[in-house]
Each structure stands twice: as C-alpha cells, then as structure tokens.
A = this chain, B = another copy of it.
Amino acid sequence: MTGHSLNRRPGIKDVAASAGVSIKTVSRVVNAEEAVHPETRARVIQAIQTLGYVPNTAARSLKSGTNGSIGIVIDSLADPFFAALVSAIETRALAEGLSVLVASSNLDSDREREQLLSLVAGHQVAGVIFAPVADEHPYLDPFRTTTPVVAVDRSRAGFDCVVVDDRGATALAVQQLVELGHERIAFFDRDERFSTIHRRLDGYLDVLRDAGLPYDPELVSSTVDGSLDYLSEAQRLLGLERPATAFFASNAKAAIGLTTALHRIHRQNTAMIAFGDFAFADVLRPGVSCIDQDPFLIGNAAIERLLALREGPKNDPREWIVPTALLLRGSGEIPAPPDATSHAHISTTEGQLA
C-alpha cells in the first residue's frame, strides 16, 4: 500500500510524481508559463490528462488572494431583465475564464450588504457587478482599492455605473404622446424606493412643463408596499371627470399589469408606452410601444468596464450611458380622442420653455 491514486482526488503532487517532475513545474504548466521545456510540458500534460487533474480553486485563491470568479448582486433572477443581464455577463466571463457567483438582494438593503460582503470579503471575488439598493455602500470602501465594482441599472455616486438615460428616454416617449394631442397622460407606478423611477418621473414632468401642460397628481399612480391593483387603478383614471387618454408604464411590471387590465376591460385601444421591452409586446393588438432597454447591452458594458478596471489603475468613476430605443408598435401612436378635453388648453406657463 504505497498510498497511490485510488479513491483520492489527484492533486498537483500526484501529477508531479506521475510525470517525474516537481510540483512547481506542474504549476508552471497549468498556468501556461513560458519557462518549461516543451518535452517536459508534454509529459506533464499527459499526466494531467490520464489522472484527470483539475486544479483546486480554493488553494489557488488562497495564495493569490483573489478568486477566479466575479460576483453579481441583482434584485431577483426571476425578473427577466436581470436574468438576461446576468446571462450576458456570464457569457463574457466564461470567455475570460471567470466563474459567476450570483446573489439576489430582493431589494432589501440589509440583504444587499450581507451578499456584497460575502462576495467581496468572503469569496474574494475578482470583481463585483451589482444593482444598488441602498443609497450608500460605505462598507465596500475597504475593498475598493483591490476589487473593482460596477453598478448597473441604478446609478450611485462613487461607482462606475452602467445605466440608461431614464429621464431622457422617458421624455422622448411622453413627448411622442403629447405630439399626438394627449394632455391627460397617466404615469404608472411612482415608487419612492427607486431612483430609476424617480428619474423617469422627472422626464415625464420635463415634457409636461415644456409643453405647458399642467401637472395633475391625480394622474400619477403610486405603488404602495410594492403592489398596485392595475385594474381598479386604470378604471379610476379612465373614469375621472377629465379622464386619462394615454398611459405611461414606467417599468415592466406596470406594463404587464396595465396591459392585462386594459385588455380585460376592452380598452386596449388606449394610447400606451412602456419603459422596458417584454416578450409579446409586439404580438398583442395593438402592439405595445416600448422604450427598449437592452439587458445584453447593459450587461456587456458592465463586464467590459469591470475587466478594464482589473487591468489599468482606475481613473475617476463615471457613468456609462447605454442607448435605448423607442419601439413604436401601435399603442403609442394612438391619437388623443378629439373630444377628450373639449375646452382649449390655455398655457399659463409660457416663459418656462427653454
């Protein structure tokens, strides 16, 4: 019993013994270092293959201080937007020989903290991409010097951020509605928890102001406790004395809920534009017009930036704006009913135009 191969996983030592070299040489071969005689290299590779040796990641990262994987923290994988985003990152990471550790924050900032620390301090990941929940992340400071961090979807000061121009894209969409004569445009799902939504609301307000339309809080539906009854809310808005004639859904959930609701009450011929594309938006009658925020573009930009940070010393963090597209599919082009608001609009805010 010379304690050989059977029943224990082969380690670098076994390979070394089998190839008749030292463990260091095996290490060199595994890490594709130059200084190894081709013949020796061949012998080692041979040994690796017959033994089925796979280097131990734990030992490796213990020595090097950095794990060969990147950490991701997003709201939830059940959200198709984030799932696609992670998918894009994973694809690129694989090409780089990096694994992906994924965790969800569930929009809870305590959980976000826990997960981020586990990744950065515990697993010592080579980098982190996350969709920030809390406003501040001071606990990441000690790691910032060694671990590159990129924020996605929601912007945060101090981090490289990959986001879309929420305010501008929203403005463009709402502008489209205004140009078709809509004066009563409902905004769905104001939600104080998300700065993203905040900016979209700002874009909405920008257009109203520039068009000289009054801002009516009654037209803005708020999510309470993360949920909203789209059906009754839609009915309320359509039943106002001066009813809403167009809808803007500021997120995918609202888009789905609203679309479903409008179809259910057979009012699908109401003008509507949604922030975020979704499956079947173009199959419905009429097609739901959307602001397309491509998760693959965002994911790619984020991982690309992360990889860049791994190399060069990081200059000041900045915001990376990924372009969006306004996909008009019918629902956004439905003009306001001529009689919607029969009295002429009197602009009282002239001077405010740029």
A78 on the interface (CB 8 Å rule)? yes
A42 contact set on B, CB distance < 8 A: none
**Interface residues of A, Cβ cutoff 8 Å to B:** 9, 52, 54-59, 61-62, 67, 69, 76-78, 80, 83-84, 86-87, 90-91, 94, 99-104, 117-119, 121-124, 139, 142-143, 256, 259-260, 263, 278-280, 282-285
B9 touching A121, Cβ below 8 Å: yes
The distance from the CB of A252 to the nearest CB of chain B, in whole angstroms, is 9
Among B62, B67, B83, B102, the residue within 8 A (CB) of A100 is: B102
In Å, the complex CA distance between A213 and B221 comes to 55
Contact present for B90 and A77 (CB under 8 Å): yes
With a cutoff of 8 Å between Cβ atoms, the chain B residues found around residue A57 in the complex are 58, 67, 122-124
> A62–B56 contact, CB under 8 A?
yes
Per CB-CB distance, the 9 closest pairs between chain A and chain B, nearest first, are A83-B83, A54-B121, A77-B87, A280-B280, A78-B87, A58-B61, A58-B62, A57-B122, A57-B123
Report which residue of A67, A121, A280 has the largest number of chain B beta carbons within 10 angstroms of its beta carbon. Answer: A280
- Specify how many copies of this chain sit in the oligomer: 2
Q: Which residues of B contact A80 (CB under 8 A)?
A: 80, 83, 279
- Using CB atoms, name the residue of chain B closest to A99: B101
A62 and B124 CA atoms in complex are apart in Å by 14
Query: Are A103 and B90 also in contact (CB < 8 A) when A263-B283, A279-B278, A284-B284 are?
Result: yes
- Which residues from B are CB-within-8-Å of A100? 101-103
B283 contacts A52, C-beta separation under 8 Å: no
In the complex the two chains form, is B91's CB within 8 Å of A124's CB? Answer: no
